Structure 1
Amino acid sequence: MASGAVAQLDIAALASAMDNPGRPAADKERDSNRKAPEVLSFLGLEAGMTAMDLIAIGGWYTEVLSYAVGDSGKVIMQNNPGRFVDNNMEIINDRLSRRSNIEHHLGPVSDVAAGSVDFALTALNFHDVHNPNPAAAQSFLGQIATA
């Protein structure tokens, strides 16, 4: 976890930030079912942290994380190279242009500096790692723990 003082996640402030007019309508349509402010608070995300969205693809959670950690925090949008990312580059670049605290890491988790991440999240995609290769999934989890 992060060293030093961090601020507890303000659920109401995050919900308000997510409702801003700059976010795409398609993203906002997902908000009510995903309940990100409550989920991220439950998981222990705090303002000021460095968070990593694993296998982010288009980055719905990446942008939400960027609001949650605030200007004093940072989000690493991790993606592995390939067609899923290639097909979503317009969306990815749009997110990166809207939020200055997001860094796109195009490469394996093992390339992220050890000890540089306070919080990691993968949403709606771990089955893509585990189902075809459970051993690779264990390795992936180990890489996350190291980052």
Structure 2
Amino acid sequence: MRPYLFAISAFAVVALPVATQAKPDLTSRAAIDAAVAAPTRTPANEARDQYRHPAETLAFFGIKPGDKIVELWPFGGWYTEILTPYVNAGGGRLTVASPAGKYDDMIAKKLATDLATYGKVIRARFPSTPTEPKIAPNSVDAVLTFRNIHNWMGKPGAAETAFQEIFTMLKPGGILGVEDHRLPENMDIAREAASGYLKVSTVRALAAKAGFQFAGASEINANPRDTHDYPKGVWTLPPSFAEGDADRARFAAIGESDRMTLRFIKPRK
């Protein structure tokens, strides 16, 4: 175990069975599709593929199965269910990085459900603390964050610090993949404070300040039915349904939120 990662004894490495079939072409989209179709995924998570488009999203980010990947704040492990078989098949490494407390507890519970699948997943802290070291500088190929940046905006300076820490842990040429709830550029930026939505320009500014180069955007996770103007913010829509049964059918028909999907690169020296 490397010194900058946190050894969790409950999650000992479990030997995986040796494949008897020919090794697949891990440079193709087929590797991503196979991970999305993994039998270890839960049906409730698979049902959300129609909104989250995981295969298209991961293909856009340009990650490879052999990469050392960090997934930030995975919560209950929706994407962890896909990324784990992806790196297991290609000899890569997945680290899930959470703050101490309930978010770390959620992913710990997920990993404990199936050690045969998740035994090689590493747990780490993000953001780091004085007593819990950072992931080593220039040590990972890709960092992925799904619907997390809006959570970092509530504390002054937290988002800036997060982006700088991400930049530091990535190798030169490494990828930062971002998906988050999107606030249209023509709407009042004050809505970012409590709605859960962020402007693309806000995220791009945070990334640029940390030193990233913008490498492209995709409309894979766009939802033109989302009006972005609900009193209870993005949590009004599925899967949260913050209004309970009030207008539930209408919000269900809208679907999950309109989301930005962005790719950034750490420049090579």
TM-score of the aligned structures, taking structure 1 as reference length: 0.80
Whole-angstrom distance in 2 between the partners of 1:72 and 1:87: 26
Higher relative contact order (CA 8 A, sep 6+): 1
Shift of 1:9: 4.6
Measure the CA separation in 1 of the matches of 2:164 and 2:142.
14
Structure with a larger share of its residues in helix: 1
Task: Name the residue aligned to 1:44.
Answer: 62
Identity of aligned residues (%): 29
Residue correspondence of structure 1 range 103-142 to structure 2 within 5 A? 103-109=122-128, 111-130=134-153, 132-142=154-164
Superposition deviation, residue 12 in structure 1: 2.9
Contact 2:68 2:141 in 1 (8 A): yes
Match of residue 85, structure 1, among 100, 104, 122: 104
In 1, distance between residues paired with 2:29 and 2:156?
35
Contact 1:11 1:38 (C-alpha < 8 Å) held by counterparts? no
Alignment of 1:7-86 (within 5 A): 9-69=27-87, 70-86=89-105
Misfit runs of 4+, over 4 Å: none
* Residues in 2 aligned to 1:26 and 1:92: alpha-carbon distance in whole angstroms: 17
* Aligned amino acid, residue 44 of structure 1: G
Question: Deviation per CA, 1:69-95, whole angstroms, max 9, x where unpaired?
Answer: 334101111111112333554223226
Structure 1 unaligned spans of 5+? 1-6
CA contact (8 A) 1:59 1:95 kept: no
Q: What secondary structure is seen at the aligned counterpart in 1 of 2:94?
A: strand
Structure number with larger C-alpha Rg: 2
Deviation for aligned residue 1:35: 1.3
Q: Is the CA contact (8 Å cut-off) linking 1:80 and 1:106 kept in structure 2?
A: yes
Give me the CA root mean square deviation: 2.3
Residue correspondences, number = 140
Instruction: Give yes or no for the alignment of 1:146 onto 2:164.
Output: no
- What displacement does 1:21 show? 2.4
Distance 1:9 1:128, change over 3 A: farther
Change (3 A) 1:142 1:95: farther
Cα deviations by residue, 1:43-71 (Å, 9 ceiling, x for unpaired): 11112100100111222212322233334
Counterpart contact for 1:9–1:41, Cα < 8 Å:
no
